[in-house]
């Protein structure tokens, strides 16, 4: 199998808000929020006796609310559960941008849902996201990410779930996520090797916005593309921390301009203000400028 990552399309995934599908009031408020994506949750946040009502809520929502310019992801229950089949029927009816599979342990979990979607003639644009939230998932994360390179795999993004991971490993909550960083970095290495995106885990205390912003800054420094959120109050900080700041944008524009100079044509490395800049930096700069343009375009829409 080819292990060289292909170029990833530029996407806005700074802030992806998880909303319980059973909460009709929360669903109504989504339209006015500035998050990059929404995870409509049918799993952990919905009690077993409320699953059917939650699916009905989502069917109405998708029929009535277009959510212009934002990714729509439905987190289903495990396929092997009593709710999995009905959740897949809902996904096929609603046609979101992606389906989020919880508690992925191994590549075969991705293959199973990819085969199911193919058998049901799901649109090619329907992608798969995977929750990495178990010890087995961490042990297998490279193989899980690599499975996204197989034809028809549809795998697009890994989402870290630290609440379940803490529960299963016994790691206690604490500032700085000291004992979790090595596992988070394993996810980053895996997604970058195989051309996927990665979202950092939720921060449970949505009232402590200073701590949340610090966690966003840490996640961005580690290389995450964005963060899964549990409350609208977290959106602004996530957008700010995972978005391009003015200094980074100015530097990216300078790199693009430097490589556009006539004497830089055909050269792999140039000297820019005493720094050696390679074409890989040009590619990164172009991606950042593209992302900034996407953010600006969405802000300009009424």
Please name the residue ranges forming H helices in the chain: 24-29, 51-64, 84-94, 107-119, 135-139, 141-147, 162-169, 181-194, 209-222, 235-242, 246-260, 279-300
156 is in an annotated binding site: no
d(CA 196, CA 23): 31
177 is in an annotated binding site: no
d(CA 210, CA 127): 34
75 is in an annotated binding site: yes
- The SS3 assignment for 106 reads coil
Angle at 130 between CA 128 and CA 134, to 5 degrees: 165
Mutual angle of helices 246-260 and 279-300, in 10-degree steps: 130
DSSP 8-state assignment for residue 180 = T
Given CA atoms 237, 240, 241, 242 in this order, what sign does their dihedral have?
Answer: positive
Task: Write down the number of H helices and E strands in the chain.
Answer: 12, 10
d(CA 46, CA 211): 27
Whether the CB-CB separation of 41 and 252 falls below 8 Å is answered with: no
From the annotation, which residues make up the binding site?
75, 133, 164
Please enumerate, by residue number, every residue annotated as part of a binding site for substrate.
75, 133
Binding positions for Mg(2+): 133, 164
């Amino acid at each position: 199998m080819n292990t060289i990552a292909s170029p990833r399309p530029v996407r806005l995934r700074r802030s992806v808000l998880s909303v319980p599908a059973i909460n009709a009031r929360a669903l109504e408020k989504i339209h006015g929020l500035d998050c990059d994506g929404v995870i409509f949750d049918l799993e952990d946040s919905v009690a077993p006796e409320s699953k059917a009502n939650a699916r009905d809520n989502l069917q109405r929502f998708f029929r009535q609310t277009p959510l212009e310019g934002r990714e729509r992801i439905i987190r289903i229950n495990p396929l092997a559960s009593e709710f999995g089949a009905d959740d897949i029927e809902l996904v096929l009816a609603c046609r979101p941008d992606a389906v989020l599979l919880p508690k992925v342990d191994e590549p075969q979990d991705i293959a199973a849902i990819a085969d199911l979607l193919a058998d049901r003639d799901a649109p090619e644009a329907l992608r798969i996201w995977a929750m990495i939230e178990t010890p087995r998932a961490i042990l297998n994360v490279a193989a899980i990410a690599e499975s996204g390179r197989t034809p028809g795999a549809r795998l697009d993004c890994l989402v870290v779930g630290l609440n379940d991971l803490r529960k299963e490993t016994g790691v206690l909550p604490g500032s700085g996520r000291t004992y979790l960083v090595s596992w988070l970095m394993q996810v980053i290495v895996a997604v970058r090797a195989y051309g996927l995106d990665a979202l950092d885990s939720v921060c449970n205390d949505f009232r402590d916005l200073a701590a949340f912003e610090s966690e966003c800054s840490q996640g961005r420094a580690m290389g995450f593309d964005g963060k899964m959120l549990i409350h609208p109050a977290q959106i602004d900080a996530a957008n700010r921390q995972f978005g391009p700041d003015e200094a980074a944008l100015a530097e990216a524009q300078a790199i693009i301009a430097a490589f556009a100079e006539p004497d830089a044509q055909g050269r792999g490395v140039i000297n820019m203000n005493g720094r050696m800049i390679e074409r890989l930096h040009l590619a990164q700069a172009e991606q950042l400028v593209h992302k900034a343009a996407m953010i600006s375009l969405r802000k300009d829409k009424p």
